[in-house]
Amino acid sequence: MVRALRRDHPQVWVSVSATTRFPRPGEVDGVHYRFVSRERFAELVAAGELLEYAEFAGNLYGTPRRPVLERLADGAPVVLEIDLQGARLVRQRMPEALLVFLKPPSWEELVRRLTARGTEDPALVEHRLAVAREELAAESEFDVSLINSDVETVCARLLTLMSSPPESPEAPACPPRASPIPPSTT
């Protein structure tokens, strides 16, 4: 879904997270992630330069604050691809953000999507599934839930949410400024 947003809707700015994990084949620093050392990540946290951060599978992930605030100040629609820990921090630090929960059409489809990647060992897939159970249980903490059954449909719905005035029937009660999306449930 995020890949489709980047490709088909360049007006939407998708944040590039910092991470301590090593790049996968084909990933480009500054495009897919900002790959940093644990020491550098700790410096970013200490300096308050991350809007949110979380640990997953032994690696740290975080959203650099400044680019998000700059894009919002410019009036651009912003999407953060983050997990539940990160969404909770965003809720605390940016209560006006629109939190959108992307959920799979079914548990079976989530399992199929995770195993079809073929990029992770079975233990990590099991860990991702355990995290997904926790995230699905926290769905009510989000402003809106979208079922990720069709990429084009969910992108269109997300774009509608980001462009709707807060009082419209399409929009929830909070202003659509940033749309954090938990990645492991998609």
Concatenating the DSSP letter of every residue in 97-119 gives: S--EEEE-S-HHHHHHHHHHH--
Q: CA-to-CA distance for 15 and 34, rounded, in angstroms? A: 10
Exposed/middle/buried for residue 79 (C-beta within 10 Å: 0-12, 13-18, 19+): buried
pLDDT at 173: 38
Whether the predicted model's global pTM rises above the 0.85 cut: no
Domain coverage including residue 157: 2-185
pLDDT at 120: 78
pLDDT digits (tens, 9 = 90+) for 100-115: 999 999 999 999 988 8
Residue 29 sits in a domain whose CATH number is: 3.40.50.300
Structural domains of the chain, count: 1
Q: How far is CA 106 from CA 109, 113, 115, 123, in A?
A: 5, 11, 14, 21
Residue 13: CB partners within 8 Å, gap ≥ 6? Answer: 71, 76, 77, 78, 79
Please give the mean pLDDT across all residues of the chain.
87
Q: What percent of the chain has pLDDT over 90?
A: 68
pLDDT at 175: 35
Q: How far is CA 167 from CA 161, 172, 175, 178, in A?
A: 11, 7, 9, 17
Average pLDDT over residues 88-104: 94
Helix, strand, or coil (residue 172): coil
Residues in the chain: 186
pLDDT over 60 (residue 76): yes
pLDDT digits (tens, 9 = 90+) for 35-48: 999 999 999 999 99
Q: What percent of the chain has pLDDT over 70?
A: 88
pLDDT digits (tens, 9 = 90+) for 116-172: 877 778 888 898 899 999 999 999 999 999 999 999 999 999 999 988 755 544 544
Confidence bin at 74 (pLDDT 50/70/90): very high
pLDDT at 180: 52
